[in-house]
Chains A and B, each alone.
Chain A
Amino acid sequence: MRDTSYAAVLSRKNEVMKASLGIDYDTYVSSPVAFDYERMMAETGYSLDDIARIQAETKVGSTPLYELTRLTEAVRSTAAPGKGARILVKDEAANASGSFKARRASISAYEAKKRGYEGVIAATSGNYGAGVASQAAMRDLKCIILQEVFDSRGVGQPEIVEKSRACEAYGAEVQRLSVGPELFFILLKTLEETGFFNASLYTPFGIRGVETLGVEIARQVRERYHRDPDAVVVTHAGGGNLTGTARGLLAEGCTGTRIVACSVDLAGLHMASDRDFNRKSFTTGHTGFGVPFATWPDRVDVPRNAARSLRYMDEYQLVSQGEVFYVTELMTKLEGLERGPAGNTSLTAAVTLARQMKRDQVVVVQETEYTGAGKHHNRQLSFARENGIEVRVGDPAENVPGKTIVLPASLEMVRGRVQDMDKLRRSYLKNAAKLYPAEKWSDADVAFLAADVKKDAAWVRRAAEDLA
C-alpha cells in the first residue's frame, strides 16, 4: 500500500504532475532559474482563434465593454482641468459561472476531455472553482474542487462559503478544508487516487485561455474609440489574469498600452494564520498573494508557472479595503451595476489613474465578477464587524488591515498608492539568487531573468552586483 503521509505524498510531486497534466516541464527547463517560456506556451497547440472557438462552445467570451459615464463624470469633478480619462469596464460577469475565471478553466476542461481524462481537479477557494465546475459540467467531466473555507472555530469566510455553494450547484464534489497550505498535499493525494486532470490555475492552458480577454479589449476599444487603450488595470493575485490579458493585448499589437496591476493592501496579515483568516475582507486580489507571486512566480502547484506578472507589468497600485468598498457602492448607485470585489479592486485603482490621465484617454478595468450572498460588500463589512474589526467613515489612509476599515468620506479621498516596481524586480532577482547564486548566471539565464522582469540584461547584471 502506498504511503499517504504528508512527506511521502509531497516527495512524489513530480511524477503526479506529469501524469495529471501530460506536460514534461523538464523539456523546457535550461537552468534552475530559466526555462523556455514562449515554447511552453506555444506547445499548448492552440491558436488564439482555436481558443475563442472552444470558449464560445461553453458560454465563455465576447463579453460587453461598458463605458462608466456617470462614474467618469464624478471622477472628472475631482480632477484638474483637462484631466479625467474615460473609465470602461469589461463585464466578465457575463461569462458562464460569473467571472473571467471561466476563460481560464475552459481550455483545461477541453484538453482533459480530448485526452480522455474522467475528470478534473482544482485547488482553489475563489471563482476559479466555480469556473472549473461549470466548464466540467458542460464537457461532461467529473469535477473535484478543494477549498480552504473555515478557521478552527468552524467559521467560514462568507465569500468562500458562497464558492462552495456555487461549485456544488454545478455538480462538483467540494472538499472544504480548514486553514493551511496543506491544500497542495490534498491536491496531490486526490490526483493520485483519481487519475484526474490537474486543472491548475497556473498551467499554460489556464493562462492561454485568458489571452482572448486582452484580444477582445483591444478590438472593442479600437472599434469604438479609434485608439488603443491607454491603460488596462488588472486585479492582481497569482498573476494569471495580468499575464493572459497582457499577452492578448500584445498579440493584437497594443504595445503602447500601460499594464497596471492592482491589489488590496493587506500588509501585516499572515496568509496561513488561523486567526488572521477571518480578519480579511478580501479572499484574493490582495498583497498576500500579489506581492509574493510577482516576486517569485514558481511557488505554485506546477513545476513552472505560466503566469509571470512582472514580465508584463508596468505599474502596481495598492488600494485599501475601505476604498474598494466605497467604489463598489458608488458604482452600484451611479452605474446601476452590482458587481463583486475582484473587478472592483481594479476599478478603484482606475479611479485614481483616470484622475491623472487626460480626458481623451481611455482606462479599461478588464473584469467584473458576479456578486450575491456572502460576496457582497455589505456582508464583508458586517462580517468584519462581527470579527471585532472597526468600520468607520474617514480618511482611508487610516486603514489598518485586520483592525480598522475606513470608508472614504468622499471620492477625492480615493487615492490608492503606487508600489516601487524596481524594488519588486530586485526582490524577484533576490529570490532567483537564493535558488541559484547570481555569479553562476549565464548570459542565457540573464536574458530570461531580464525578460521576466521587463528590463534589459544590463539592468539585471547591475542589480545582481548590488545583491552581492
Chain B
Amino acid sequence: MNVAKGTWVEIESVVLKPEERAPGLPEDTAKTPYVLRLSGFLTEEAEIGQEVAVKSLIGRTHRGVLRAVNPSYDHSFGATVPELLHIGLREG
C-alpha cells in the first residue's frame, strides 16, 4: 500500500547499535540497540518498511523506517482493579 506524501506517520531508526552503546550498562540493556521513534509528515510517497524522511511538528527533517500510518495514542485507564474500589467506602 502506498502512503501519500504529507501523511502523518511514525518512523523508527537505530541510533546506536549494541556495540556502540554507553559503557557500564546492565547486561539486558547492553545487548539491545538504542532505538528512536518519531512522528512527522511524510516528505515523499512511500511504503511501510521503506527508509523515508519526515518533517516533525517544528519542521525538522528526520530519516528512518516507515512503521505506522496515522499513529495514535491508545493509552487508557486500564482494566478495572477491583481492589481499589473498596478504598474509602463506608462498608459493613
Q: List the interface of chain A (C-beta within 8 A of B).
A: 5-6, 119, 142-144, 149-150, 152, 156, 158, 161-162, 164-165, 168, 171-182, 185-186, 194, 270, 272-275, 325-326, 329-330, 332-334, 373-374, 376-383, 385, 391-393, 407
Are A275 and B28 interface neighbours, CB within 8 A?
A: yes
Are A272 and B75 interface neighbours, CB within 8 A?
A: no
Q: Cα distance A149–B39 when bound, in Å?
A: 14
Residue in B22, B26, B56, B77 whose beta carbon sits within 8 Å of that of A273 in the complex: B26
Q: Tell yes or no: B16 within 8 A of A by CB.
A: yes
Are B84 and A374 interface neighbours, CB within 8 A?
A: no
With A180-B22, A333-B87: A274-B78 Cβ-Cβ less than 8 Å: no
Could you say which residues of chain B place their CB within 8 Å of the CB of A407?
A: 83-84, 87
Q: Cα distance A182–B56 when bound, in Å?
A: 21
Q: Cα distance A374–B75 when bound, in Å?
A: 5
B 47-92 contacts with A by CB, 8 A: 56-60, 73, 75-81, 83-84, 86-89
Q: Cα distance A388–B91 when bound, in Å?
A: 30
Q: What would be 5 A-B contacts, judged by CB atoms less than 8 Å apart?
A: A168-B39, A171-B57, A186-B15, A272-B26, A273-B29
Are A382 and B78 interface neighbours, CB within 8 A?
A: yes
Are A158 and B78 interface neighbours, CB within 8 A?
A: yes
Are B56 and A381 interface neighbours, CB within 8 A?
A: no
Could you say which residues of chain A place their CB within 8 Å of the CB of B81?
A: 378, 381-382, 385, 391
Are B34 and A178 interface neighbours, CB within 8 A?
A: yes
- Determine how close the nearest CB of chain A comes to the CB of B28; give it in whole angstroms: 5
B interface residues, how many (CB within 8 angstroms): 37
Q: Tell yes or no: B25 within 8 A of A by CB.
A: yes
Residue in A164, A182, A378 whose beta carbon sits within 8 Å of that of B84 in the complex: A378
- Determine how close the nearest CB of chain A comes to the CB of B38; give it in whole angstroms: 5
Q: Cα distance A380–B79 when bound, in Å?
A: 10
- Determine how close the nearest CB of chain B comes to the CB of A370; give it in whole angstroms: 14
Chain B residue nearest to A183 (CB atoms) is B34
Are B78 and A172 interface neighbours, CB within 8 A?
A: no
Q: Cα distance A176–B37 when bound, in Å?
A: 5
Are A178 and B78 interface neighbours, CB within 8 A?
A: no
With A161-B73, A378-B80, A407-B83: A182-B38 Cβ-Cβ less than 8 Å: no
Are A274 and B32 interface neighbours, CB within 8 A?
A: yes
Are B83 and A143 interface neighbours, CB within 8 A?
A: no
Chain B residue nearest to A10 (CB atoms) is B22
Q: Cα distance A6–B29 when bound, in Å?
A: 16
Q: Tell yes or no: B1 within 8 A of A by CB.
A: no
Chain A residue nearest to B14 (CB atoms) is A178
Are B36 and A175 interface neighbours, CB within 8 A?
A: yes
With A172-B57, A173-B57: A161-B75 Cβ-Cβ less than 8 Å: yes
Other than the given A178-B35, A180-B29, 4 more pairs (CB < 8 A) read A119-B58, A175-B36, A179-B32, A392-B83
Chain B residue nearest to A189 (CB atoms) is B15
Could you say which residues of chain B place their CB within 8 Å of the CB of A182?
A: 15-16, 21-22, 34
Q: Cα distance A162–B15 when bound, in Å?
A: 23
Chain A residue nearest to B27 (CB atoms) is A273
Residue in B21, B34, B38, B80 whose beta carbon sits within 8 Å of that of A173 in the complex: B38
Are A379 and B15 interface neighbours, CB within 8 A?
A: no
Are B75 and A6 interface neighbours, CB within 8 A?
A: no
Residue in A186, A273, A329 whose beta carbon sits within 8 Å of that of B87 in the complex: A329
With A6-B20, A376-B78, A379-B77: A272-B88 Cβ-Cβ less than 8 Å: no
- Determine how close the nearest CB of chain A comes to the CB of B82; give it in whole angstroms: 10
Residue in B35, B57, B77, B83 whose beta carbon sits within 8 Å of that of A393 in the complex: B83
Could you say which residues of chain B place their CB within 8 Å of the CB of A272?
A: 25-26, 29
A-B pairs with the 4 shortest C-beta distances? A333-B88, A382-B78, A374-B75, A379-B78
Are A144 and B58 interface neighbours, CB within 8 A?
A: yes
Could you say which residues of chain B place their CB within 8 Å of the CB of A174?
A: 38-39
With A168-B57, A379-B75, A382-B79: A329-B88 Cβ-Cβ less than 8 Å: yes
Interface centre among A164, A178, A275 (most CB of B within 10 A): A178
- Determine how close the nearest CB of chain B comes to the CB of A291; give it in whole angstroms: 18
Chain A residue nearest to B26 (CB atoms) is A273
Q: Cα distance A175–B58 when bound, in Å?
A: 12
Residue in B29, B36, B76 whose beta carbon sits within 8 Å of that of A179 in the complex: B29
Interface centre among B36, B39, B58, B89 (most CB of A within 10 A): B58
Are A177 and B35 interface neighbours, CB within 8 A?
A: yes
With A182-B15, A182-B34, A272-B25: A158-B75 Cβ-Cβ less than 8 Å: yes
